[in-house]
Amino acid sequence: MDGTKRINIKIGLTVMVVQKQDQRSGKLTEGTVRRILTNSPDHHHGIKGMLESGIVGSVKEIK
């Protein structure tokens, strides 16, 4: 599923995010969404979210 549309992301979903420091390498981190941080309905780099672990990143994939 597409992580660039806010409507696709729900609290509790398992997602893959790229953290700010990993943007160049593209390294993805898996986790469960705790909060959705982007207010706009879509974002070309991915909707920013906070995972249960406290990690903040842009959603690239929804599991």
State the pLDDT at residue 27: 97
- 21 CB neighbour count, 10 Å cutoff: 9
Return the domain boundaries, the chain: 6-62
Taking only the tens place, the pLDDT of each residue in 13-30 is: 999 999 999 999 999 999
The whole-model pTM stands at: 0.91
CATH 2.30.30 for domain 6-62: yes
pLDDT of residue 1: 81
pLDDT at 25: 96
Residue partners of 52: CB distance under 8 A and separation at least 6? 31, 32, 33, 34
Segment 46-58 shows an average pLDDT of 97
- In the predicted model, is pLDDT for residue 2 greater than 90? no
